[in-house]
Structures are given as C-alpha cells and as structure tokens.
Amino acid sequence: MLYKLLKFLVGLGIKLYYKEIKVNGKSNLKTDKPLIIIANHPNTLMDAWVIGMLCNQPIYFMAKATLFNSNLKLKVLKSLNMIPINRAGESKIKGVNNTTSFIECFKILEQNKTLVIFPEGTSYQERVLRKLKSGTARIALEAELRNKGNLDLQIIALGLNYSQPEKFRSNILVNIDAPQSIVEYLDDYEKDKIQTSRKLTQQFRIRLEKVLVTTEDKKEDELAEDLYHLLKSKYVINRSRGAEADHELMQNISESLTEIKVTEPWLIHELQEKIGAINWKLQKLDIKTDFLDRRFKSTMFIRQVFLAFLFILVALPLYIYGLIHNLFQYKFTDWLVQKITKEVEYFAPISIFISLFLYPVIYSSFLFIGSSYYNLSWLILPFYFISMPLSGLFSYWFNKYLKHIGYKWRYMLLMIDNKKVIEELKYDKLKVKRMLFNED
C-alpha cells in the first residue's frame, strides 16, 4: 500500500519536475518472466523513481546499505521494496547481511518479479559510464543455477539520458533494449564463476553503451556539455523535437569528439579555447546563444517586441497570481536543497521530495484563508486549489518568457548599432560546428 501511494505521488512529482519524458521500447518492460533491469546511475534516487514510474509491475531495488543506517530506515525502506547491500569500502550497517540480501534477490526472481540494479554502484552526474561491478552478473547466474537453468531470467538494459538532470522542466530520454536470456553462460559459469561473471558484465556494458550517450572521462564530458549548450538551438530545423532532439545532438557531439581524438587530437584544445571565447562574449553582451542562428529583420523584431509587450500587459495579473501562491515554496525549496546537500546529483530528487510535502501545505493554507476570511464556497475551493499549481507553472514559463524578450531586445539593439560583433560571433559558432563535424 505504501509502495503504491509513494509511486503515485513521486510519479506526479517527476511529471511536474521534468518537461518531457520520452520513452523508447517501453513495451520491453512487459513480461511475465523474471526480470533484471540494469541501468546507468547519473541522478541518485531520481533514477530509481523514473524506472519505478515506467514499470506497471512492482519493482525491487538493490541499494547501498548506508541508506539503512537505523532500524526505522531499515523497516521503511524494505517496505518500499528496497534491498540493502553492504558495499566494499564502506562501513557495514548493523542488521544488513549481504548473503541474506542475495537470497532475497533470488526469491524475488523465482517469483517472476522485477529487480532493478545499477551496476556502476555509485551515482555521479556525468555521461561517463563507469566500471560495472560484477555482482549483477553473479546474482543473475546464481539465480539460474539455483533453478538448474529453468528460470528463463531476462535482462534488460535501460539508458537514462537526462538533458540537464538537476534542472526544473528539462527533458529525459529513456532507451530500453529488448530482454535477453543468460542461459547460454550457465555451463561456463559452473566451470569458472569469476571469468564468466566478468564476461557477462562486459556484455552488460556493451548493451548499456547502446542505449546511452557516453563520454570517456570528465574532461570530455565537460567539453561535450559546453558544445551541447552552444549548438542547441530552437531556430535550427530538426526533424526530432524535445528529448529526442537533445539526445540526437549530444550523440552526434559525442561521436564526433571520439573521432577527433583519434584523427586530429590537437583540435580538442582549439575547440575548448573557441568555446570559452564565445561564451565570454555572449556573457558580456547578455544574449542567448541560439540567437546567433536567428535571421534578423528589424521590422519583424520590432513587431514581435511590440506584440510581446501587449501580451505581457494582458498576462501580468495571472503571473502575479501565480507568484503569490507559489514563489515562497519555490524559493524555499531551492534554498533548502542547497543547505541539505552540495552534490548536484541529489538536487532533483530532494526538490521533489520536499515539494510533495511543502506545496500541499502552502496550498491548504491558502484554502483555509479563502474559506475562513473570504467566505469562498465549497464549490469554488476545488477550482481555487487547481488554479494554484497551474498558475505556478504559468508563472515559471512567463518568467522565462520575460527573460527571452529581454534577450531579444538586446539582440535587436546590437544588430542595429553593432552588427559586426554579432556577425563575428555567428562566424565563430559556425567555425566550431565545422571543426566538430568536419564540415567544409
């Protein structure tokens, strides 16, 4: 019961936090066979929550034992289908026994249930696919061995591709490959458990790399991120949209960087310098990167700014209404998250967890004030309640719209008064693109 309730609430929080969650291959999750889902782990608790939201069936998670560091946490987290594991290099938690946890995993699989494992072990917000632990392969193979190869255990690789994991209203693309059996490894496993586990783990890595955009190290990851923000533009015609477009761009960048490192490694440093110079100029001019892809006609821009001004006047009351009902909890959540942790991987899940409690409390307070002091009828109160989160989302969008109009105004003035600077930036951006993608 607790699992179902939290799944509903967290799923609602995820859908509000992220603008788009695009899923490829979701039908692969539907199976009546025992299933292990292996996934990358860039966003701590959020990764498990997203997978849980996508699966219709109840799922069980393997989690580090340090989360279960009290009897209360142990009972609560176990009731949420979480299985604790003492990891090498970390202190052992009282009440957690790895042998018992492994047996619990075997029993779950023998009941045709679904187990989620993050074989990287740790969570870091980067596109580097870290070394996979062999424990996942051993659990899968031992489960089959216990059942003499008749379990028909299936393994699915699931790739979580966040555009900006910690950012509110960003996108997620989830790629899910087809389930595969591991029975073919069983004979070799009986002869040599260590080598066969390593061989299967390497197969897991290959499968994960196919559903992810990956980089080799942190420096390459940072360069790929800078290139992504420079080249991402809503003014460039693209067949795909949203999460798919983000993923496609990052994939192209990653593949190009891999090729450059082999054929022209000196270009990496040149790309870093070019991007740094462009970003510095853009920051000084205070305009958006994707404006460099816009076609400019002064009459069109003046007309757009004028119409935007009229829209702002009309929409301003709704914007203020949304701020009144949402600004405090939005700012307080942001402040509290940064007080709780400095690790960016925890920003999104902690924000959702706080919001699930804080927003209903604040909204309920407004309802109490409305009914007690303004005599709002019981017929109006439900509509009032619904209007608060909707106006909050509108205010968030409207605030971004105001910034966009500010950028547009500055861009228009620069194109009229100092067009040469913009043209130089456009040329520099085009040069980076040509260097990256080897375009003539």
Task: Provide the 8-state DSSP code for 64.
Answer: E
pLDDT of residue 122: 87
Distance, CA of 255 to CA of 249 (rounded, Å): 10
User: What residues form DSSP beta bridges with 219?
Assistant: none
pLDDT of residue 178: 96
Any idea what the Cα angle at residue 346 is, between residues 345 and 352, rounded to 5°?
130
Number of Cβ within a 10 Å radius of residue 189: 22
Task: Provide the 8-state DSSP code for 157.
Answer: E
Distance, CA of 44 to CA of 346 (rounded, Å): 6
Sign of CA dihedral 78, 43, 200, 207: positive
Distance, CA of 43 to CA of 351 (rounded, Å): 13
pLDDT of residue 239: 60
Contact 288, 439 (CB under 8 A): no
Contact 352, 17 (CB under 8 A): yes
How far from 280 is each of 135, 223, 286, 407, 436, CA to CA, in Å? 46, 15, 10, 16, 20
Radius of gyration of the chain (CA): 25
State which amino acid sits at residue 403. Answer: K
| Phi, psi angle pair for 154, to nearest 5° | -115, 145
Which DSSP string corresponds to 65-112?
Answer: GGGG-SHHHHHHHHHTTEEEEPPTTSPPPTT--HHHHHHHHHHHHHTT
Contact 233, 418 (CB under 8 A): no
pLDDT of residue 87: 79
In the numeric block, which tokens belong to residue 26? 């979701």
**Among 380, 384, 335, 340, CA closest to 363:** 384
In the numeric block, which tokens belong to residue 310? 């009229």
Coil, strand or helix at 315: helix
Distance, CA of 330 to CA of 333 (rounded, Å): 5
**Among 104, 135, 99, CA closest to 117:** 135
**Among 144, 196, 182, CA closest to 38:** 182
Distance, CA of 388 to CA of 396 (rounded, Å): 12
In the numeric block, which tokens belong to residue 412? 């228009």
State which amino acid sits at residue 152. Answer: D
Distance, CA of 198 to CA of 212 (rounded, Å): 21
- Chain CA centroid to CA 14, Å: 10
Contact 62, 119 (CB under 8 A): no
Mean pLDDT in order along the chain per 10 residues (440 residues): 83 94 95 95 92 94 80 75 82 82 95 96 90 95 96 97 92 96 96 97 97 92 94 78 88 94 93 95 91 85 90 97 97 95 90 94 95 89 95 96 92 89 94 89
pLDDT of residue 264: 92
Coil, strand or helix at 35: strand
State which amino acid sits at residue 100. Answer: T
State which amino acid sits at residue 190. Answer: E
Residues 6+ apart with CB under 8 A from 36: 109, 114, 115, 116, 117, 136, 139, 140, 153, 154, 155, 156
How far from 5 is each of 41, 79, 282, 372, 389, CA to CA, in Å? 24, 12, 47, 31, 20
